[in-house]
Amino acid sequence: MGAMAELTPEDRFLRSCRGEEVDRPPVWLMRQAGRYLPEYRAVREGVSFLEMCRDVERAVTVSLQPIDLVGSEAVILFQDIFTPIPGMGVELDFSPGPVMAEPLRRADQIAGLRVPDPRESVPFVFEIIRTLRQALESRRIPLLGFAGAPFTLAAYMVEGSGSKDFATLKTMMHREPALLRQLLATLTEMTVGYIDAQIEAGAQAVQLFDTWAGLLSPDEYREWISPTHQEIVQRIQKNGAPFILYVNNGAHVVEEMAQSGADVISLDWRASLSDAAARFGEGVSLQGNLDPCALAASPEQIRDRVQAMARDAAPARGYIANLGHGCLPGTPVEGVRAFTEAVRSLG
């Protein structure tokens, strides 16, 4: 471990993604910049979520907060998965989840979607990345970019908003498969360009969030989801930036996630880390997967769970401690701190 003890957070994170030796796992939390932090709520006050995303100064401020406030060891760009969608010609708002002005259900709507250069349609995203990268350089803390996965974006766009069953989307899948395929192809095209531009601006790793892919059966996932992930992994200009794939509620498709070509697969709390490590850990690093609600437990219990996760993930080539889903508005700040401290004491 000698030289390992000198690892910077950046080295520890990137080496873990690639399956290289490290002293201990790095730690960050999905939605670590969020409403559970009073300091986030203070910055957010008086502006809408959309304004917050476009305000470079505020977005930079809240992106950085989790480093010192809760001890996170990686920063993720503050932004929404829907950020690049208005540039495609789709009007939407948040209340609080995305709501389309007009759900996409007709061929002419889908054929009319634009795939603009994100540097022109959402320049603020890359300004935020460049500013964050400068702020983080001296501390050697890694910066992650991210994008919503095509299926998840399509799910909201077709359904019009979030939904329990996404029955409209699935009906399109069964009755107008060509239409849904065209929408996914357009969104995949857009996502590749959006990720490329983030890496170009300075993102050192990127995470793809597929929030609704877990709605499908394994057969349907292989038909509809896997090709979109594989195409993105193959086409992006990584320039050394590892690719992390997160599928919410994806315990039944861990094998498919592992075969996507991602460097890291990020697991939901329902998935077994030990199973994933034993079956796929030689070829892919793991990230996850504490239930965010478990941060309500005592610091001792949180430490026990962190130690159990590290043990379970140990057979994998690399491991990044994280939650299985994003922090919730009611997540206790002291629980988040206990979580990052427990990971740091694994060294």
Q: Which residues fall within 8 angstroms of residue 25, CB to CB, at 6 or more apart? A: 12, 16, 310, 313, 319, 320, 321, 343, 346
Q: Would you say 153 or 271 has its CB closer to its own copies?
A: 271
Residue 270 CB, nearest distance to its own copies (Å)? 4
Among 247, 271, 276, 321, interactor with its own copies by CB under 8 A = 271
Tell me whether residue 221 is one of the annotated catalytic residues. Answer: no
Tell me whether residue 31 is one of the annotated catalytic residues. Answer: yes
Short-list 40, 38, 49, CA closest to 81? 49
Residue 54 sits at φ, ψ, to 5 deg, of: -90, -10
Q: Which stretch binds its own copies (CB under 8 A): 35-43, 87-95, 106-114, 287-295?
A: 287-295
293 belongs to the binding site for its own copies (CB under 8 A): yes
Q: Would you say 65 or 249 has its CB closer to its own copies?
A: 249
Q: Would you say 199 or 225 has its CB closer to its own copies?
A: 225
Tell me whether residue 181 is one of the annotated catalytic residues. Answer: no
Longest dimension (CA), the chain: 62
Count of residues in contact with its own copies, rule CB under 8 A: 30
**What percentage of the chain's residues is helix, strand, coil (to nearest 5)?**
55, 10, 35
Q: Which stretch binds its own copies (CB under 8 A): 39-47, 71-79, 190-198, 249-257?
A: 249-257
Mode of pairing for the β-strands spanning 243-247 and 205-210: parallel
279 belongs to the binding site for its own copies (CB under 8 A): no
Strand-pair partners of 285: 264
252 belongs to the binding site for its own copies (CB under 8 A): yes
Please, are residues 198 and 136 in contact by the beta-carbon 8 Å criterion? no
Q: Would you say 310 or 328 has its CB closer to its own copies?
A: 328
- Residue 282 CB-half CA count within 13 A: 2
Query: What tokens does 187 get?
Result: 């969104």
Q: Which stretch binds its own copies (CB under 8 A): 31-39, 138-146, 162-170, 313-321?
A: 162-170
Tell me whether residue 44 is one of the annotated catalytic residues. Answer: yes
272 belongs to the binding site for its own copies (CB under 8 A): yes
Residue 48 CB, nearest distance to its own copies (Å)? 22
Tell me whether residue 279 is one of the annotated catalytic residues. Answer: no
Please provide the size of the chain in residues. Answer: 347
Short-list 177, 266, 294, CA closest to 224? 177
In the chain, which ranges are E strands? Answer: 75-76, 92-94, 98-100, 143-148, 205-210, 243-247, 264-266, 285-290, 319-323
**Active site residue: 44, 105, 303, 317, which one?**
44
Residue 168 CB, nearest distance to its own copies (Å)? 8
Among 4, 69, 296, 333, interactor with its own copies by CB under 8 A = 296
Contact string 317-346 vs its own copies (x = CB under 8 A): -------x---x-x----------------
Query: What tokens does 81 get?
Result: 């998965």
Neighbours of 243 (CB within 10 A): 22
**Active site residue: 55, 80, 93, 275, which one?**
80
Among 161, 182, 226, 301, interactor with its own copies by CB under 8 A = 301
Distances (CA, A) of 339 to 31, 204, 300, 334: 14, 24, 10, 9
Omega before 249 cis (within 30°)?
no
- What letter represents residue 41's amino acid? R
The CA radius of gyration of the chain, in Å to the nearest whole number, is 19
**Active site residue: 12, 31, 303, 317, which one?**
31
163 belongs to the binding site for its own copies (CB under 8 A): no
Site residues for its own copies, 214-243, by CB under 8 A, read 214, 216-218, 220
Q: Which stretch binds its own copies (CB under 8 A): 9-17, 132-140, 295-303, 313-321?
A: 295-303
* Interface positions with its own copies (CB under 8 A): 165-167, 170-171, 173-175, 214, 216-218, 220, 249, 251-252, 269-272, 291-294, 296-297, 301, 324, 328, 330
List active site positions: 31, 35, 44, 80, 156
